[in-house]
Amino acid sequence: MRARIDPELQRQLDAAGKAGEPVRVVVQVHRTAGRPTEPAESEAQIHAAVERASAATGERPDDVHVLGRMAVAYVSGSETFVRELIEQPEVTSAVANETTSGSEAD
């Protein structure tokens, strides 16, 4: 299943590729319906996706902050790294962490 990608994130990825700027993204990983999220499971999924994206690109993210109970991570990295990360099978959705006005995403 391909992750749902926020149109603003897509725009930022395209712009970052030209400018070489880092991209800040919020990714969500799979959660089991009808069951509380297990933080350790979410963290393992996120770390697996990050490691696989790192191996594929030869790059490490600038920052990763995992919110295991929410099955979410805030990640900052190059455009190439973020594009690879959001293609990982664990990732179900990805949104820009900041809007074009520079304010934090809701």
pLDDT digits (tens, 9 = 90+) for 73-83: 999 999 999 99
Separation of CA 20 from chain center: 18
The pLDDT of residue 103 is: 45
Cα–Cα distance measured from residue 57 to residue 84, given in angstroms and rounded to the nearest whole number: 7
- pLDDT-derived band at 71 (thresholds 50, 70, 90) equals very high
Q: What is the mean pLDDT of residues 16-44?
A: 90
Instruction: Select from 21, 27, 30 the least CA-distant residue to 80.
Output: 21
**How is the chain split into domains, by residue range?**
4-96
Instruction: Select from 30, 12, 18 the least CA-distant residue to 76.
Output: 12
Strand pairing partners for 75? 25, 64
Q: What is the four-CA torsion angle of 51, 78, 73, 96, rounded to 10 degrees?
A: -150
Proportion of the chain above pLDDT 90, given as a percent: 72
Which CATH class, in words, describes the domain spanning 4-96? alpha beta
The pLDDT of residue 106 is: 46
